[in-house]
Structure 1
Amino acid sequence: MTSTVTAAAVSKNFGAYQDAAARDPVIITKNGRPRTVLIAYEDYMRLTRRDRRVDLTSSLSDNELAVIEASEMDDGLDHLNTGLTGKHAAD
């Protein structure tokens, strides 16, 4: 179970929180707000290994580009455009 502690508490007893983080993440707060997370090295390595696949549009075939250009958003998903346009879909 993830625990939440103050930065002052971690400073006073780092070894104990280091051991706790080997089992579960420890959220460290500053001024009452979450600021950092102490995690096991193995968890850190697992997170950094997650590959993001990136394909360049220049590597796509003409047929693949045509399929993408002809695609349409399903009804009811217009709200997803908000992040792209900065406007509400109803605007």
Structure 2
Amino acid sequence: MLKVSAAEFQRNIGKYQDIALREPVAVTRNGREGTVLISADEYRDLHKNYRRVMRLEDFTEEDIRAIENARPSPESKAFDHEVED
């Protein structure tokens, strides 16, 4: 990801808009990233795939049965230590 100061970004906004069509551009202030410019297509993809919160009423009976019947894979045992007290 390209990093650019806010002052440089303001001086050459068109340049960085063009770059953002290919890769994210992080805009920094006092050396810290504050914002990231991305293409509209990338934003739409991120927004479309963002997790959404569902209420219990949003689940179908089939969804609930699938959750109740779900079992972890044997490989998941490798992470048991992360939830132990």
> Shared fold (TM-score greater than 0.5)?
yes
Instruction: State the identity as a percent.
Output: 36
Give the equivalent residue in structure 1 for 2:82: 80
Q: What are structure 2's unaligned runs of at least 5 residues? A: none
Q: Structure 2 CA distance, aligned partners of 1:33 and 1:64?
A: 42
- TM-score, scaled relative to structure 1: 0.63
Q: Are positions 1:28 and 2:34 aligned together? A: no
> What SS does the aligned partner of 2:51 have?
coil
More relative contact order, 1 or 2 (CA 8 Å, 6+ apart): 2
Q: What are structure 1's unaligned runs of at least 5 residues? A: 82-88
Cα distance change, pair 9–48 in 1 and its aligned pair in 2 (3 A): same
Q: RMSD in angstroms over aligned alpha carbons?
A: 3.0
Number of aligned positions between the proteins? 78
- TM-score, scaled relative to structure 2: 0.66
Larger-gyration structure (1/2): 1
Q: Structure 2 CA distance, aligned partners of 1:26 and 1:40?
A: 10
